[in-house]
A and B are shown apart, each in its own frame.
Chain A
Amino acid sequence: MKLKIYDDIYLNTEFENLSQKGIHKGCSGIILDIKADECFVRFRNHLNRGDYACININSKFLDFDEHQPKEHYPAWEHFKATGDLEKDSFKPQKFFEYDCVELAVEKDKYAKFGVHKGAKGAIMEDFCIDSEYYVIFTDYNTGYDIADIAVHEDDLILVKK
């Protein structure tokens, strides 16, 4: 089947150089451009929703999934015009489910939930969104929770794996 621009695809082969960028066999993406048999693909990072990597790859290594609806075209055109198309690897996953973490900064967006610098909590999902992790913070004196909120990875330090 001939692939087209804005087809959703899956990577059908494991490559050493791509795996180092976090992109593995089975990874989904969308074709942003095609020149001859070379596809320019935006792969999705399922461990960090919103993160992506743009790669040139031969179409024989891609399996067709489905075509994006026409009404989505303008949004993808906008991404092609304004997005960072040089970004060619996924962000490494910094934390994992049940990791014990500590809030390293004092910020209003966390303080409004009662979570202040030094608060400790647990990572409670096996993925993150926009590099923000879902964390349950606990008052260590009482054992009860302060809040469960999304916290950016740069604002967290690992206490115990």
Chain B
Amino acid sequence: MSLFEKIVLPIGTKPKSGWIKWYHSGIPDEEGEKRKQAQDDAKILKHCENCTALSGCYFSAKNMPLYPLHPHCDCLVFSISKQISKVVATCALEKFTDYIFGEKYQNNGKTRLFKELGFTVKDSNYLKSELERQAKQKYLNGDYILGHLNKYGQRITIDIKLKSPLKNDIILKTGWMIRTLGCLTCNTPLGDR
């Protein structure tokens, strides 16, 4: 809790600026076994699975889920006092090698879209690192669109600008999952139009 001033915002209050941390009691912040266990028990303990999925996640105050999420929501929202610094955006290489350019997805239209832009599977490492670099910066700037929230977590869309070898600069709408403590993982390198 050292990063945070213990400013608990009253339910229904939306901070005007800065960052917030979502908090649900009994759910450890660190991703891993302990968090999984607590989330496993959520249903038995009659906790809202969407709320427990959000616990420990950071949001830009100007771009956060509805708070409270539902009637009798017992989540808390902390105002973060310092600039968050440990943001990590991760895009698995397999998102390109096994999905976008993957053999079993050759017909889903994504390979064709990337090939039209001049990218092939050989560009996977470049695309991965470029997505990670830009996503980190955009998330830090609060420059993302909140998407669907369910028991898997909160999705966001981030626009990634790429220099295409064949066309002008293009914007990819990439889909990410907000993880805890400033982490993001890429769901799809190409979501919406």
Residues of chain A whose beta carbon lies under 8 Å from any beta carbon of chain B: 8, 28, 30, 44, 46, 49-50, 69, 72, 75-76, 78-79, 97-98, 100, 120, 122, 124-125, 129-130, 134, 136, 138-145, 147-150, 159-161
Residues of A within 8 A of B108 (CB): 120, 138, 140, 143
Specify which chain B residues have a CB less than 8 angstroms from the CB of A79 in the assembled complex: 44
- Bound-state CA distance A72–B37 (Å) is 14
Query: How many residues of chain B get a CB closer than 8 Å to chain A's CBs?
Result: 36
Given contacts A46-B40, A50-B43, A97-B94, 11 further A-B contacts (CB under 8 A): A8-B37, A78-B44, A130-B43, A130-B151, A136-B188, A138-B110, A142-B109, A145-B190, A148-B191, A159-B104, A161-B104
* Residues of B contacting A141 in the complex (Cβ-Cβ under 8 angstroms): 109
B7 within 8 A of A: no
Q: Tell me whether A138 and B45 are in contact in the complex, defined as CB-CB below 8 angstroms, given that A46-B40, A98-B98, A129-B151 are known contacts.
A: no
Report the separation of the CA atoms of residues A130 and B43 in the bound assembly, to the nearest whole angstrom.
10
CB distance B191 to A145 under 8 Å? yes
Q: How far is the CB of B7 from chain A (nearest CB, A)?
A: 26
Contacts of A76 in B (CB 8 A): 44
Partner of A148, one of B107, B151, B155, B190: B155
What 1/0 flags go to B11-34 for Cβ under 8 Å of A? 000000000000000100000010
Interface residues of B (CB under 8 A from A): 26, 33, 36-37, 39-41, 43-46, 49, 94, 98-99, 102, 104-105, 107-110, 112-113, 148, 150-152, 155, 175, 187-188, 190-193
**Distance between B184 CB and nearest chain A CB, rounded to angstroms:** 14
- Answer whether A124 and B188 are a contact pair too, CB < 8 Å, given A138-B110, A143-B110, A144-B193: yes
Q: Are A28 and B109 in contact (CB under 8 A)?
A: no
Q: How far is the CA of A75 from the CA of B45 in the complex (A)?
A: 5
Q: Give the interface SS of chain B, mostly helix, strand, loop or mixed.
A: mixed
- Residues on A with C-beta less than 8 A from B102 are 98
Report chain A residues within 8 Å CB of B192. 144-145
Pairwise interchain contact B104-A144, C-beta atoms closer than 8 A: no
**B98 — which chain A residues lie within 8 A by C-beta?**
98
Cα distance A148–B157 in the bound complex, in angstroms: 12
CB-nearest residue of chain A relative to B153? A134
Residues of the B chain whose Cβ atoms lie less than 8 Å from the Cβ of A75: 44-46
Whether A49 touches B39, Cβ cut-off 8 Å, given contacts A75-B44, A143-B110, is yes
From residue B191, how far is it (CB to closest CB) to chain A in Å? 5
Give every chain B residue within 8 A of A161 (Cβ-Cβ).
104
A46 touches which of B36, B152, B187 (Cβ 8 Å): B36
User: How far apart sit A141 and B107, CA to CA, in the bound complex (Å)?
Assistant: 9
Per CB-CB distance, the 9 closest pairs between chain A and chain B, nearest first, are A143-B109, A160-B104, A143-B113, A44-B40, A143-B110, A145-B191, A98-B98, A75-B45, A100-B104
Contact between B109 and A140 (Cβ–Cβ < 8 Å)?
yes
26 of the cross-chain contacts (CB-CB < 8 Å) are: A30-B41, A44-B40, A49-B40, A50-B43, A72-B41, A75-B45, A75-B46, A76-B44, A78-B44, A79-B44, A100-B105, A120-B108, A122-B99, A122-B105, A125-B152, A136-B187, A138-B110, A140-B107, A143-B190, A144-B191, A145-B190, A148-B148, A148-B187, A148-B191, A150-B150, A161-B104
